[in-house]
Homo-oligomer: A and B are copies of this chain.
């Protein structure tokens, strides 16, 4: 990379500076309820307050905003290689006392087991409906994230990222039910999973909780680690 300060901008047309940040809504399922991760802020404003993991874009380190979000996730939650989707931009002069700011918000879904170490080091988990005391417009961001995830859950493979592979279909079904907030018909659910075709069986079975037939174990097909599998006709409530 030899490219120096090639294209300078004439000072008179340089716009006023905008603060450019990234915030990540890290979602996981804890005791059957959707939670998001918070960390204590280490600087003003709101020093010490629990907030979404985030930070300024570092143009020297981050090739783009996705890389920035991945860095934040690595540094603040010890998470690597997760499903990561851009949510929306939250912007304006009112949301941050330091000035006109842009927050590029991301959503990521991880199985609870992948957070154990970070939770030991101070990462917090809060229910997505418990939004009190969040700084900036982080409550809006979390609401947008959980709305997005819930609505996508009804017609896509998205919820699978909350399951630690390998997992059974009954386990995955209960994850869908937690997100959708209602029971799902078992036969329809399995038909839909077959149609979406994002799972592959893992050889070997699990027996868990003793006295019953063992269940087949499954994992996500690798080509769906970032792309979602979607269907026109959603998964509906059942039984």
Residues on A lying within 8 angstroms of B by beta carbon are 1-2, 4-7, 9, 13, 15-18, 20, 42-45, 47, 56-60, 63-65, 86, 88-89, 91-94, 97-100, 102, 104, 154-155, 232-234, 236
Contacts and interface: CB of A to CB of B under 8 A. Distances in A.
Given A2-B43, A97-B7, A104-B102, A65 B91 contact: yes
Given A92-B65, A98-B7, A154 B232 contact: yes
B2 A100 contact: no
In the complex, the count of this chain's copies comes to 2
A100 B6 CA distance: 13
A58 B15 contact: yes
B7 A59 contact: no
What are the nearest 4 A-B pairs in CB distance?
A: A64-B92, A59-B100, A18-B20, A65-B91
Nearest to A42: B2
Contacts of A155: 232
